[in-house]
């Protein structure tokens, strides 16, 4: 029978593991007998693709054609990539999915495709090792991954031909590996500092159920950040001959050197090395552990906030956890271990290798799923970020709160904002911030066919359902007249079924046209919604603006209308952003006015934030 | 009840068919207490609630049905979703109280809106004003003290819910407590430094 496998698809390295005949999880060597497969993919000019060590060796000479740390780009949409992540890569942001332009722009690959190359190699290795194609598979994701990032990970698995039975949060997988090994009950903290992401989770193991109590982290914090600050210091001090402008190759080479030096300083007090860099440069690298710690301290301290918050959310009432599990290569750094000890008031557990523990846990979970495992430990995961909907004025109404156990679903009712309103834009967002623009936008769709009724009479019920993978689907229906509409949405930046199909048959061009069309339609709808909302707002609260204040808003409305008549969705988007900025003050005044009203009338619901929302326009 | 898979008779409380072992959908109209297999009352032992939740999670969770057919997977997803909802709602005394009131046909939120509680409101407006001043002046100690005061009052209020339910207090009394609790929440939320944003 095909064996289930667990995959740790990491930022820096990836691993595959399975459970052996004696029910023990073990790592399947990825290449050359090593457990780790570097998460590196090289696209050669002749069209060949190399993955792993071979690809990573190419990185110094061909940095732009060699994709490292692709995980940082998973599930990211146009304009969504943080400047510090852009690094040396070239991006093609014309489609719905960001692509990396390689081979002098001759080839564009999405993060999902790059990840699928890594997964293909792991799948092949597993097949060779197990003597046949692997069965169902579990892929781990950082607990902090949002819906779009999870969707992208699942898509990558499908693209690689894997039967992805479940996505499991990395810290949860790590705890699972420990929990089964040690057979102990209690609460655990998992501190996972990998190459590119930081996760912290508080879990409870009791009565055969592993329950995630809370989770937090930072999707942009990891060992790479250590290397970046160390590389900057090394280049500043010891590059001969010096250069005016650092090239990608030099940066890449220095980062690789920084990583080696940092790792060496985990056991040594001082490292002196001369590193040859591309282009005949030499990097004279001398660093003591004290200097390293001073450099990385600010990065390490960024883990404090998420840890405190996770402990608070877990509601342990001040009780210390029973153990702290370390995951990720960066936790080998002595400074990190000392920091963890201070945060949690105890020495962390180090029985298992922090590099392989996640994959081992994933294999355990894959095996349990495969056997319908009634005797095994059950994993209860939570949703890492709140899911909400954008309300009038751009504020977010949370529908499913963060740290809710999944699967979960929640329903909320809304009413129309304008008389005779027949459509409602539902903007689905994820995050803890109050304003939709500060949250992650997941999807946007329009519920049509609402019967034209006076404002506030039509009732629309919105249901969010999160499945056991943490992936969301949203439905909306109108209740008043019994007219039902059911709309299923998938995250905008994930891939639709059709897109995956299209990629499988390599007819990407057509899919892209569709996607552009969809964006155009979506942004036009959004533009119309905003103009209509503003016009209604002018009618109701026009007195809040002087003519001079209103003029710039009117100008932008006109500009937006012209853009909506055209076919460039990016132009529409830009005008919407400009209009948003210009009307921000107006929106704030309106909010204040309405809140002020409620306070003056001592209306208990507004004051305490309970019950019906003003307007309720979505 | 009839099993959807093998058409055998299934006792109403049984989660699975005794004949073929397939998971059965929840009984229609099942409330959240029933979803956890608990009696419908306010006084619940937290450890009992947690134990029931774990035991039922082991039985219903979709992971247990990864290899099952689509229909059974769907039922597992529904039951597990409902179970999680029950756990989330009932483990917190206030949400449990609110839910009990709703089951009894009352709407605590609507009642809160029409509630006449002028003295309490006056007092809260005053506290809010003090909080606003303390924040404006950057007086962290005063802000923390106001938050602590609200927390203590909230704890006292939550302690009253059990005896009120046990004594069969009128629902208006309970709704009033729940409405007041929200004011304390809002003070507590405003009195802590906002959590670090990502």
| Nearest CA distance, B35 vs chain A (angstrom) | 14
Rounded Cα–Cα distance for residues A141 and A7 (Å): 10
Tens digit of pLDDT for each residue in A150-176?
Answer: 889 999 999 999 999 889 988 889 988
Given A92, A117, A155, A192, which residue is catalytic?
A: A192
- For A122-208, where are the E strands, in sequence order? 137-141, 164-169, 186-193, 198-206
Q: Catalytic annotation on A322?
A: no
Rounded Cα–Cα distance for residues B53 and A36 (Å): 39
- What are the distances in angstroms from CA A152 to CA A19, A38, A232? 26, 20, 32
Tens digit of pLDDT for each residue in B150-188?
Answer: 999 999 999 999 999 999 888 888 988 898 888 888 888
Mean pLDDT of A518-527: 74
Whether pLDDT at B17 is above 80: yes
The answer to whether residues A377 and A208 touch, using CB atoms and an 8 Å cutoff, is yes
Amino acid A105: pLDDT: 79
Tens digit of pLDDT for each residue in A212-266?
Answer: 888 888 878 888 899 999 998 888 888 888 777 778 778 888 888 898 999 899 8
- Does A317 reach chain B within 8 Å, measured CB to CB? no
Mean pLDDT of B37-66: 91
Chain B neighbors of A465, CB-CB under 8 A: 81
Structure tokens at A192: 């996972």
Among A70, A40, A63, which Cα is nearest to A52's?
Answer: A40
Amino acid A487: pLDDT: 58
A432/B112 CB distance under 8 A: no
- Does A380 reach chain B within 8 Å, measured CB to CB? yes
Whether pLDDT at A118 is above 50: yes
Length of chain A: 618
Which has the higher per-residue pLDDT, A295 or A474?
A295
Rounded Cα–Cα distance for residues B182 and B190 (Å): 12
Task: Indicate the pLDDT class of residue A376, thresholds 50, 70 and 90.
Answer: low
Amino acid A437: pLDDT: 80
A408/B198 CB distance under 8 A: no
Is the pTM higher than 0.80? The answer reads no
| Nearest CA distance, B180 vs chain A (angstrom) | 9
Tens digit of pLDDT for each residue in B57-68?
Answer: 988 998 888 778
What is the chain A residue with the closest CA to B115? A604
Highest mean pLDDT, choosing among A76-80, A555-559, A594-598: A555-559
What is the chain B residue with the closest CA to A464? B81
Given A71, A123, A204, A398, which residue is catalytic?
A: A71
- Does A166 reach chain B within 8 Å, measured CB to CB? yes
User: A116-125, A508-517, B75-84: which range is least confident on average?
Assistant: A508-517
Rounded Cα–Cα distance for residues A254 and A276 (Å): 9
Whether pLDDT at A616 is above 50: no
What is the chain A residue with the closest CA to B55? A207
- Does A405 reach chain B within 8 Å, measured CB to CB? yes
Whether pLDDT at A556 is above 60: yes
B65/A165 CB distance under 8 A: no
Among A400, A428, A414, A480, which Cα is nearest to A614's?
Answer: A414
Which has the higher per-residue pLDDT, B197 or A70?
A70
User: A69-83, A298-312, B155-169: which range is least confident on average?
Assistant: A69-83
Rounded Cα–Cα distance for residues A261 and A99 (Å): 32
Task: Indicate the pLDDT class of residue A300, thresholds 50, 70 and 90.
Answer: very high
Tens digit of pLDDT for each residue in B56-114?
Answer: 998 899 888 877 888 998 999 999 999 999 999 999 999 999 999 999 998 887 777 66
Q: Which helix (H) or strand (E) holds A43?
A: strand A40-43
Amino acid A280: pLDDT: 84
Structure tokens at A244: 């005016």
ipTM of this model? 0.83
Which DSSP string corresponds to A462-476? Answer: EEEEE-TTS-EEEEE
Structure tokens at A394: 């751009």
Whether pLDDT at A45 is above 80: yes
- Does A227 reach chain B within 8 Å, measured CB to CB? no
User: A394-408, A434-448, A527-541, A556-570: which range is least confident on average?
Assistant: A434-448
Q: Catalytic annotation on A514?
A: no
Which has the higher per-residue pLDDT, A605 or A580?
A580
Q: Catalytic annotation on A170?
A: yes
- Does A601 reach chain B within 8 Å, measured CB to CB? no
Which DSSP string corresponds to A220-263? Answer: T-SHHHHHHHHHHHHHHHHEES--SS--HHHHHHHHHHHHHHHH
Tens digit of pLDDT for each residue in A172-225?
Answer: 899 888 765 456 788 999 999 987 778 899 998 887 788 888 888 887 888 889
Whether pLDDT at A475 is above 90: no
> What angle do helix axes A497-504 and A147-159 make, rounded to 10 degrees?
30
Question: What rounded mean pLDDT belongs to chain A?
Answer: 82
Q: Considering only CB atoms, which residues of chain B are within 8 Å of chain A?
A: 50-51, 54-55, 57-58, 61-68, 77, 80-81, 84-85, 87-88, 109-110, 112-113, 115, 117, 121, 179, 182-183, 185-186, 195-198
Q: Catalytic annotation on A301?
A: no
Amino acid A541: pLDDT: 85
For an interface test with B, the pick among A602, A610, A613, A614 (most B C-beta atoms closer than 10 Å) comes out as A610
Question: What rounded mean pLDDT belongs to chain B?
Answer: 87
Amino acid A598: pLDDT: 42
Mean pLDDT of A587-596: 73
Closest Cβ–Cβ partner in A372, A407, A608 for B77: A407
Rounded Cα–Cα distance for residues B149 and A337 (Å): 38
Amino acid A334: pLDDT: 93
Among A265, A272, A275, which Cα is nearest to A235's?
Answer: A275
Tens digit of pLDDT for each residue in A319-328?
Answer: 889 889 999 8
Whether pLDDT at A380 is above 80: yes
Tens digit of pLDDT for each residue in A433-462?
Answer: 778 887 777 777 777 778 888 877 788 888
User: A287-291, A424-428, B190-194: which range is least confident on average?
Assistant: B190-194
**Helix, strand, coil percent content, chain B, rounded in steps of 5:** 65, 0, 30
Above pLDDT 90, what percent of chain B? 38
Rounded Cα–Cα distance for residues B196 and A307 (Å): 11
């Amino acid at each position: 029978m095909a064996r289930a496998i667990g995959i740790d698809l990491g930022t820096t390295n990836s691993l595959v593991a399975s459970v052996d005949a004696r029910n023990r999880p073990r790592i399947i060597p990825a290449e050359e007998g090593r457990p780790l497969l570097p998460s590196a993919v090289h696209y050669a000019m002749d069209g060949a693709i190399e993955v792993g060590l071979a690809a990573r060796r190419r990185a110094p000479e061909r940095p732009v054609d060699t994709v490292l740390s692709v995980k940082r780009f998973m599930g990211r949409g146009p304009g969504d990539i943080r400047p510090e992540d852009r690094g040396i890569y070239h991006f093609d942001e014309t489609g719905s999915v960001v692509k990396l332009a390689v081979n002098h722009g001759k080839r564009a690959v999405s993060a999902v495709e790059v990840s699928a190359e890594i997964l293909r190699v792991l799948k092949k290795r597993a097949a060779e090792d197990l003597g046949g194609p692997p069965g169902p598979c579990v892929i781990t994701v950082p607990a902090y991954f949002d819906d779009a990032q999870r969707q992208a990970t699942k898509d990558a698995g499908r693209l690689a031909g894997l039967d992805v039975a479940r996505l499991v949060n990395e810290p949860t997988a790590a705890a699972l590996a420990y929990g089964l090994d040690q057979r102990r009950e209690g609460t655990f903290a998992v501190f996972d500092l990998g190459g590119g992401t930081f996760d912290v989770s508080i879990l409870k193991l009791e009565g055969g159920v592993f329950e995630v109590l809370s989770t937090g982290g930072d999707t942009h914090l990891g060992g790479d950040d250590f290397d970046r600050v160390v590389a900057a210091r090394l280049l500043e001090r010891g590059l001969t001959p010096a250069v005016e402008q650092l090239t990608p190759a030099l940066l890449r080479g220095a980062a690789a050197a920084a990583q080696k030096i940092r790792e060496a300083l985990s056991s040594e007090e001082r490292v002196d090395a001369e590193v040859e860099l591309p282009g005949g440069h030499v990097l004279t690298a001398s660093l003591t552990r004290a200097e390293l710690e001073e450099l990385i301290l600010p990065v390490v301290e960024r883990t404090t906030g998420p840890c405190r918050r996770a402990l608070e959310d877990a509601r342990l009432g001040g009780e210390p956890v029973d153990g702290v599990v370390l995951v990720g290569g960066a936790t080998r750094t002595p400074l990190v271990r000392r920091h963890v000890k201070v945060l949690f008031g105890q020495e962390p557990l180090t029985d298992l290798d922090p590099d392989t523990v996640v994959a081992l846990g994933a294999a355990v979970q894959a095996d349990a799923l495969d056997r319908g495992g009634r005797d095994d430990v059950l994993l209860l995961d939570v949703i890492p970020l709140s899911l909400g909907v954008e309300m009038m004025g751009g504020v977010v109404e949370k529908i499913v709160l963060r740290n809710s156990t999944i699967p979960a679903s929640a329903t909320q009712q809304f009413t129309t904002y304008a008389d005779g309103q027949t459509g409602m834009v539902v903007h689905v967002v994820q995050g803890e911030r109050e304003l939709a623009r500060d949250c992650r936008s997941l999807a946007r769709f329009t519920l049509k066919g609402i019967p034209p009724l006076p404002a506030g009479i039509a009732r629309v019920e919105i249901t969010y359902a999160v499945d056991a993978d943490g992936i969301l689907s949203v439905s909306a229906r109108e209740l008043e007249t019994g007219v039902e509409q059911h709309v299923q949405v998938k995250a905008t930046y994930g891939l639709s079924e059709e897109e995956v199909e299209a990629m499988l048959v390599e007819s990407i061009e057509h899919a892209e046209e569709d996607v552009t069309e969809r964006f155009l339609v979506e942004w036009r709808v959004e533009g119309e919604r905003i103009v209509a909302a503003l016009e209604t707002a002018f009618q109701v609260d026009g007195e809040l603006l002087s003519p001079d204040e209103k003029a710039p808003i009117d100008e932008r409305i006109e500009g937006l209308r012209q853009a909506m008549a055209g076919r460039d969705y990016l132009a529409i988007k830009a005008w919407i952003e400009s209009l948003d900025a210009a009307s921000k003050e107006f929106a704030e005044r309106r909010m204040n006015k309405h809140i002020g009203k409620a306070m003056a009338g001592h209306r208990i619901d507004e004051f305490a934030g309970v019950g019906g929302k003003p307007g309720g326009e979505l | 009840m009839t099993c959807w898979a093998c058409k055998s008779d299934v006792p109403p409380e049984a989660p699975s068919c005794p004949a073929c072992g397939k998971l059965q959908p929840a009984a229609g109209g099942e409330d959240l207490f029933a979803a956890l297999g608990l009696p419908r009352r306010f006084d619940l032992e937290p450890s009992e609630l947690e134990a029931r939740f774990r035991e039922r999670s082991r039985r219903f969770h979709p992971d247990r049905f990864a290899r099952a057919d689509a229909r059974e997977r769907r039922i597992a997803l529904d039951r597990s979703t409902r179970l999680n909802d029950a756990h989330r709602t009932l483990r917190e005394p206030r949400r449990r109280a609110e839910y009990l009131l709703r089951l009894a046909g009352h709407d605590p939120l609507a009642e809160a809106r029409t509630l006449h509680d002028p003295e309490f409101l006056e007092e809260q407006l005053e506290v809010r004003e003090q909080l606003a001043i303390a924040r404006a002046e950057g007086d962290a100690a005063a802000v923390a003290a106001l938050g602590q005061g609200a927390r203590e009052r909230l704890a006292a209020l939550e302690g009253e819910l059990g005896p009120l339910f046990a004594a069969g207090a009128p629902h208006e009394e309970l709704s009033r407590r729940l409405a007041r609790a929200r004011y304390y929440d809002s003070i507590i939320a405003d009195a802590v430094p906002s959590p670090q944003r990502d």
